[in-house]
Amino acid sequence: MEIRQELSTKLLQKLVLTPQLQLAIKLLQLSRLELAEEIRSQLESNPVLDEESSGDSPVGYEEAAAETPPPREDAPEAAMPEDAGNGGEPSAATGGVADGEWERFVEGYSRFSNGPSVRVSNEEFPSVEATVSRKTTLADHMMWQIQLSELDGRGRDIGAFIVGNLNEDGYLKDVTLEDVAEQAGATIEEVTEVLARIQSFDPVGVAARDLRECLLIQARTHHPGDERLVRLIEVHLPDLERKNFSSIARGLKCSLDEVKTLVDTITRMEPRPGRGFASDDVIYVQPDVYVFKVGGEYVTVLNEDGLPKLKVSPYYEAALTGADGQTREFVQEKLRSALWLIRSIHQRQSTIRKVTESIMRFQRDFLEKGVTALRPLVLRDVAEDVGMHESTISRVTTNKYVHTPRGIFELKYFFNSRIGSLYGDDRSSEAVKSRIKALVDGEDPRRPLSDQEVVALLRKENIVIARRTVAKYREALNILPSSRRRGLV
């Protein structure tokens, strides 16, 4: 077999994502916080970019309308900048650096947004204390009580080892008394005595080894002398889980009314003593878009508070004049990068606003009546309405939140599967879930609705759904089966 080298020409078509298009797609799918971080990063790496100071005089919506408008977005794919197909080289039609047309675009972008000018208050933002204070942990709280107790140095060492092995719910699990005694160099009796002392600390029931012991500690602390309550916890917890109240009444030799009183007492106990000291931080959501009702119409406004407004530095703008070839090439490259970043941000904001407006048009009944009026909606419906690709709609609705008169929702919340009906319009899955929850909330506690009975009731309301679908929705709503929802009245 002969091996040789030769030259040949070949013609083929190839789709290439230019760096500018990659930047536009990247910015489109970023969350609001990630976008702010990306802008800060670009400000640090590109000397041509500058941030407007807060002292710049604002431009009202009416005044902005008289300014030179930003470039039109008539392309079907709004996420794709107009110059994505020419290798990133600017043209006169798109405001290229070489032709000096970028000044109008940058000036227009940095002075006003393309949406209505509405001032949004900060009432829903977290307080300063909520963002800077450090929450006391369960371990800190327990160690503080150990230091104030009458335990000696050896007892405090044992107590510190016990506290260090508590889980987030306040239980002492995955470690035995023998393990504690071995690690602390103490006897089982000493460990047992210290454990009993810690279990009497606040919160009552902490350091219990299982649910039964946790409830017993609370029963003996808050209801001393109530032997029936203690016996119910010691012997009849499995019957209580199965709602077998008749068996509990026979075992305790009391009436159902007395059983109900005991059960109500147990339900007021805390099964997770460490819950109040959970270290999970509250996640505050700042919406990307606001939807306000003005008169009889709903207005969509972008939330741009906290996002840096970009402009081109006048120093580098003037540096182009009289610069030599190498310097001019460097400045032009940075100007081109700055232009594409500003245009991509502008396009991102415009795309989010248009997609949100489209979703709100489809879901106007939801804004008026609530979740029960939520319509079935898929990405294709919105994509056809705004003239974009479904992948763009998916990127726009990922990690984006909208503030509506009905609350704050992720944009993906408004896309729901379709549930059939006997006649008329179909229902959305979220609306059906809401209706199932309403039926369960209104049921008779002595005779809770089974899944099949829920199917029958929904069918009377023109909703066709299978029993297994009801079971799936019930589990998604954290609703127990009917056998475990039975109660005493």
Q: Kindly report, residue by residue over 388-404, the tens digit of the pLDDT.
A: 999 889 989 988 999 99
In this prediction, residue 116 has a pLDDT band, given cuts at 50, 70 and 90, of: low
Element (H, E) at 310: strand 310-312
Q: Using CA atoms, how far apart are residues 303 and 32, in angstroms rounded to an integer? A: 9
Instruction: Please say if the pLDDT value at position 117 is more than 60.
Output: no
Taking 50 as the threshold, does the pLDDT of residue 70 lie above it?
Answer: no
pLDDT at residue 216, rounded to an integer: 94
| Contacting residues for 265 by C-beta, under 8 A, at least 6 apart | 219, 223, 229
Model pTM above 0.75: no
CB of 481 closer than 8 Å to CB of 472? no
The C-alpha atoms of residue 42 and residue 27 are separated, in whole angstroms, by 12
Q: How far apart are CA 443 and CA 243, in angstroms?
A: 16
| N- to C-terminal Cα separation, the chain | 92
Q: How confident is the model at residue 327 (pLDDT cuts 50, 70, 90)?
A: confident
Q: Please give the distance of CA 472 from its chain centroid, rounded to a whole number.
A: 22
CATH, domain 417-484, list 2.40.30.60, 3.40.190.10, 3.40.50.1970, 1.10.10.60: 1.10.10.60
User: Does residue 248 surpass a pLDDT of 80?
Assistant: yes
Domain boundaries, the chain: 21-120+287-396, 138-277, 417-484
Give me the pLDDT at residue 145, please: 92
Q: How many CB atoms lie within 10 A of CB 246?
A: 11
Place of tokens 């709004």: 78
d(CA 45, CA 59): 29
Q: What is the pLDDT of residues 187-219, one digit of tens each?
A: 899 999 999 999 989 999 999 999 999 999 999
Residue 120 reports pLDDT greater than 80: no
Residue 74 has pLDDT above 50, yes or no: no
Confidence at residue 472, expressed as pLDDT on a 0 to 100 scale: 92
Q: How confident is the model at residue 444 (pLDDT cuts 50, 70, 90)?
A: confident
Do residues 218 and 182 lie in contact, with contact meaning Cβ atoms separated by under 8 Å? no
- Residue in 49, 40, 95, 107 with CA at minimum distance from that of residue 315: 49
Residue 82 above 80 pLDDT?
Answer: no
